Amino acid sequence: MTEPLPGREDIDHMSGLDELVRAVRQYGGSPLPAQETHERLLEAYEELKVAEEELRAHQELILQAQKEADVERKRYRTLFELAPHPYVVTDRHGMIEQANNAAGELFGLAVPRLIGKPIVNFIELGARAEFRARLHELSMGLRTDRLVLEISSRDGKLLPVETAVAAIASNTGSQSYCWLLRDMTTQRDSEESMRALNRSLNARVAQRTRELEIALAGEQAARKEAEAANRIKSELFARLSHEFRTPLHAVSGYLEILQQNIHGGLNEDQRKDVDRIHQAQEHLMALVNMILDFAKLEGGQIELSMAEIPIEETLRGAEALVIPQFDKKRVSYSRRSGDPSLTVFADREKVQQIVVNLLANAAKFTPAGGSVDLDWKVEDEHLIVRVRDTGCGVPEERIEEIFEPFVQVRAAGSMPTGGTGLGLAISRDLARAMGGDVRATSRPGLGSVFTLTLPLRKRATASTLSASSTEN
């Protein structure tokens, strides 16, 4: 057995070439010239020193890798143990090799008691065949989907558990499987609660639907009753108005006989009384005609005779019927004339009735010394007729009320003006039947402006009131 080679310090202490040669011969080396032997020993020593440094560096790398592996192993173990979901590692036959604390809580056993037990023992009997089939698929290298199984806990309860599995390499080189188990009890309870809530909501919706159907049926019945009552009212208005007109015409005839002195002359007082009776008869006839028009509008029986009518001439005809009222109340009236050749597609009688109503309304609510003026223009293929007065005015929030049937809005402390409150309602309905409208703006104490709008061309429809139209 040869002794170890001398170190560098040993070589340095050798004296002379003879001692070096003896040292080489002593350690079994072949005899070489002294100089060559010395050089080779130095080369060998340098190579050995380099190899030693490389070995030391590799050892340091191995130690560092071992430290990092230990850190990662501890980290994995910590994560494995503290994971909120149960983790179980089994061999290819389903024997439990590792389990975390959450798995022990799920199965109701301490982790050491789980090791070495078949995981299939914790699965409900009816689901074991499916689990074994899963293991077989895994061993064949087949990909498996998630599976929901029922796990038997220690207290005998069956817990729904969703499983996900991944293949991992074990320390021995054999195949192992990591099972992620997720308790579905809370989710199942939530789903059951949700289904129960849905059933309750569906029942409430069905009940509410039935209540709404009953209410709708009642509303429809009430609407039909209201429509029937409205028809009866309209028919009654029409019938009464018609019946009133006959005796009123008779009264008018007898008044004319008295005024013409056919049965003898009248003294001055008698003639004044006859004139008062005649005025009252005309006022009553106007009211009856207005009620009859309203009844026709309500019943959809108004008939329009649409044609191209001259604007200026139609407005002059309407104002002629109201000027006596202005003179009687000492209200000044003016009209701004326009192009006499312009026409509008409308019912001439209905346009005159609207304008008469607007002018009469202005005369009614304008005090003595006030003024009313009418002007018209054509704008964007529409006829715009405005009637301005200096009457008491209407609060802005009550403007729409004055277009309601039988409604009159007057200033506080003012005296009633008479009438039925139908003039503006009839005027708006007639305008809309011809494709136009009537609107108002007003300020209390400063008067009102009523605006009639009608289309110039043949675009008017009577659909609003289902009125039939005829063209001349």
Are 222 and 210 in a shared domain? yes
Question: What whole-number distance in Å separates Cα of residue 197 and Cα of residue 217?
Answer: 29
2 within a domain of the structure (yes/no): no
**pLDDT at residue 16 greater than cutoff 50:** no
3-state class percentages of the chain: helix first, strand second, coil last, to nearest 5: 55, 20, 25
Question: Are 448 and 337 members of one domain?
Answer: yes
Task: Return the pLDDT at 385.
Answer: 92
Contact indicator for 430, 353 with CB cutoff of 8 Å: yes
Instruction: Give me the number of domains the chain comprises.
Output: 4
User: For 67-81, what is each residue's pLDDT tens digit?
Assistant: 877 777 677 666 666
Report whether 383 contacts 456 (CB < 8 A).
yes
pLDDT of residue 449: 92
Q: What is the CATH number of the domain that holds 134?
A: 3.30.450.20
318 and 421 in a single domain? The answer is yes
Question: In angstroms, rounded to a whole number, what is the distance separating the alpha carbons of residues 388 and 443?
Answer: 12
Structure confidence at residue 374 (pLDDT): 92
Q: Which of 301, 332, 360 is the last residue of a domain?
A: 301
177 in a structural domain: yes
| Domain match, 315 and 463 both | yes
Burial 237-254 (b: 16+ CB within 10 A, else e): bbeebeebeeebeebeee
Confidence of residue 453 (pLDDT cuts 50, 70, 90): very high
Q: Structural domain of residue 57, as residue ranges?
A: 8-78
Q: Would you give the distance in Å from CA 14 to the centre of its chain?
A: 104
Query: For the residues 30-58, what does the mean pLDDT come to?
Result: 77
188 within a domain of the structure (yes/no):
no
The verdict on 99 and 69 lying in the same domain is no
Higher pLDDT, 453 or 27: 453
Instruction: Provide the pLDDT for residue 298.
Output: 62
Residues 219 and 325 in one domain: no
3, part of any domain: no
> What pLDDT, on a 0 to 100 scale, did the predictor assign at position 20?
46
Mean pLDDT of the chain: 76
Q: Are 369 and 438 found together in one domain?
A: yes
CATH code (residue 214): 1.10.287
272, 301, 330 — which closes off a domain?
A: 301
Q: Let me know whether 431 and 443 are in one domain.
A: yes
Inside any domain, residue 193: no
Are 340 and 459 contained in the same domain? yes
Question: Rounded mean pLDDT of 373-396?
Answer: 89
> Looking at the structure, do residues 251 and 143 belong to the same domain, yes or no?
no
Report percent pLDDT > 90 for the chain: 8
Least confident of 168-172, 260-264, 317-321: 168-172
Q: What is the 3-state secondary structure (H, E, C) of 300-350?
A: CCCEEEEEEEEHHHHHHHHHHCCHHHHHHHCCEEEEECCCCCCEEEEEHHH
- In whole angstroms, what is the distance from residue 251 CA to residue 80 CA? 112
Question: End of a domain among 269, 285, 301?
Answer: 301
pLDDT reported for residue 151? 78
My answer on whether 459 and 385 are in the same domain is yes
Confidence class for position 87, pLDDT limits 50, 70, 90: confident
Instruction: Give the residue with greater pLDDT, 217 vs 280.
Output: 217
44 and 130: one domain?
no
